[in-house]
Structure 1
């Protein structure tokens, strides 16, 4: 029954993730934690999101912006290895609170989604990718943290999903190798990671069918809404820490 509930949740979440440009990890983390434990969440999500990203790349291959991917390539590898290395030794509570606040603040940046306040250039993705990959390796997932950069760069909804997913494959493969090296990939982690990953690949296909029916403007709006929701969920999950600070 637990496996069924996790897979049903994964199916729904990954359809939503396809429509919103990411965020599956934040929505699934609480459910996965109940089943496999908090410490196994990061490697399970790395495996499952790596598989779902593979299906997105296949579906959106012709829309991938390879120039952006090349800017992200080295920083993604370095950042994810460093984050995975510190995964066991650092408390991630404060980092999750900071990321949550950044995600929630997106609503003020995109009051008019069709008119971004600043223009992001391709080379900006190198330092941003390093930071996001490090945080992803450290806490397991950062949701759609870079989506505002993709939107302000000016790419289409299909290009955002394809490029982001190509980079996600690189990110999560590096994280899986790092987690395995440090002893966090167990048989149970592999089982749940693969089951959720296969479910997500099916969900991505259905998500693509829905995506084709929505406009670019509406896509931007739901991406921003998903970023704010992800931030609220992250803050709620760490509410005890916030109360201790206050």
Structure 2
């Protein structure tokens, strides 16, 4: 019983922080879920939580959704999430989570760059590059259950504001999570 209370409160705090920061709930919840659930249930659990959080973000930030990015991202992410959801039977999610952790640690130096230096050194991504990012996001998300924070950098390269990143990512993720829930069930 105490595990459920801790999980419930941690989930609320994680998704609240995630809504403010533009992501990261899965980084908070994966260690806790690894402790409480078999690893095969973690992607499903994260998908339910992230879907709910994404819907609430859309309600709050719907006027900030960048529909051009959405229309390039989603069509390429859906087949990839299907592939990732299928391959989850054959890939140990812990290994992929380790790769994601190394990727995140590799991005730590970006935190210490000044905002102006970071923006001036990054050029806008092409639409074909965005389609590739959509595919990779869908594939990794299909396997791990959540991956959005890794791709915030690419939204920044597209020149989006903080609100546009939160709204556009939420709109993209709602479709991914619906497909994943169907696959996982």
Q: Same fold (TM over 0.5)?
A: yes
Q: Is it true that 1:165 corresponds to 2:170 in the alignment? A: yes
Specify the SS of the correspondent of 2:7: helix
CA distance in 2, matches of 1:152, 1:17: 20
Instruction: State the superposition RMSD in angstroms.
Output: 1.7
Aligned-pair CA distance for 1:109: 4.1
Residue 40 (structure 1) aligns with: 41
Map 1:210-229 → 2, pairs under 5 A: none
CA distance in 2, matches of 1:37, 1:133: 23
Native 8 Å contact 1:33 1:40 kept in 2: no
CA distance in 2, matches of 1:3, 1:177: 25
Q: TM-score, normalised by structure 2?
A: 0.89
Aligned-pair CA distance for 1:143: 4.7
Aligned-pair CA distance for 1:93: 4.1
Could you list the per-position Cα deviations for residues 173-229 of structure 1 after superposition, in whole angstroms to 9, with x for gaps in the alignment? Answer: 11111111xxxxxxxxxxxxxxxxxxxxxxxxxxxxxxxxxxxxxxxxxxxxxxxxx
Map 1:1-246 → 2, pairs under 5 A: 1-109=2-110, 111-115=113-117, 116=119, 117-121=121-125, 123=127, 124-180=129-185
CA distance in 2, matches of 1:125, 1:26: 24
Aligned-pair CA distance for 1:49: 0.8
Unaligned stretches of 5+ in structure 2? Answer: none
Larger radius of gyration: 1
Q: Which moved more, 1:73-82 or 1:54-63?
A: 73-82
The count of corresponding residues between Structure 1 and Structure 2 is 180
CA distance in 1, matches of 2:108, 2:30: 23
Native 8 Å contact 2:80 2:136 kept in 1: yes
Residue 215 (structure 1) aligns with: none
Native 8 Å contact 1:53 1:169 kept in 2: yes
CA distance in 1, matches of 2:74, 2:147: 18
Specify the SS of the correspondent of 1:144: helix
